[in-house]
Chains A and B, each alone.
Chain A
Amino acid sequence: NAGVMQNPRHLVRRRGQEARLRCSPMKGHSHVYWYRQLPEEGLKFMVYLQKENIIDESGMPKERFSAEFPKEGPSILRIQQVVRGDSAAYFCASSPNYQETQYFGPGTRLLVL
Chain B
Amino acid sequence: GQQLNQSPQSMFIQEGEDVSMNCTSSSIFNTWLWYKQDPGEGPVLLIALYKAGELTSNGRLTAQFGITRKDSFLNISASIPSDVGIYFCAGQQGGAQKLVFGQGTRLTINP
* B41 and A45 within 8 A (CB): no
In the complex, whether B29 has a CB less than 8 A from a CB of chain A is: no
Which of B14-22, B53-61, B74-82, B101-109 lines the interface with chain A?
Answer: B101-109
In the complex, whether B43 has a CB less than 8 A from a CB of chain A is: yes
Which A28-75 residues sit within 8 Å CB-CB of chain B? Answer: 31, 33, 35, 40-45, 48, 55-56, 58-59
In the complex, whether B67 has a CB less than 8 A from a CB of chain A is: no
* A42 and B97 within 8 A (CB): no
Bitwise interface map of B from 42 to 56 toward A, beta carbon under 8 Å scored 1, else 0: 111100100000000
Which B1-35 residues sit within 8 Å CB-CB of chain A? Answer: 1, 4, 6, 35
Shortest distance in angstroms between A91's beta carbon and chain B's nearest beta carbon? 5
In the assembly, what is the distance between CA of A101 and CA of B32, in Å? 11
* A33 and B42 within 8 A (CB): no
Given A91-B43, A104-B42, A42 and B98 touching (CB < 8 A)? Answer: no
Identify B88's interface contact among A4, A31, A43, A93, CB under 8 A: A43
* A107 and B42 within 8 A (CB): yes
Shortest distance in angstroms between A93's beta carbon and chain B's nearest beta carbon? 8
Shortest distance in angstroms between B19's beta carbon and chain A's nearest beta carbon? 19
* B97 and A43 within 8 A (CB): no
In the complex, whether A7 has a CB less than 8 A from a CB of chain B is: no
Chain B residues lying within 8 Å of A31, measured Cβ to Cβ, are: 97
Given A42-B88, A42-B103, A58 and B98 touching (CB < 8 A)? Answer: yes
Given A42-B103, A42-B104, A101-B48, A48 and B97 touching (CB < 8 A)? Answer: yes
In the assembly, what is the distance between CA of A98 and CA of B100, in Å? 16
Chain B residues lying within 8 Å of A59, measured Cβ to Cβ, are: 1, 98
Chain A residues lying within 8 Å of B101, measured Cβ to Cβ, are: 35, 42-44
Of all A-B residue pairs in the complex, the 5 with the closest CB atoms, nearest first, are A42-B101, A104-B42, A45-B98, A43-B101, A104-B43
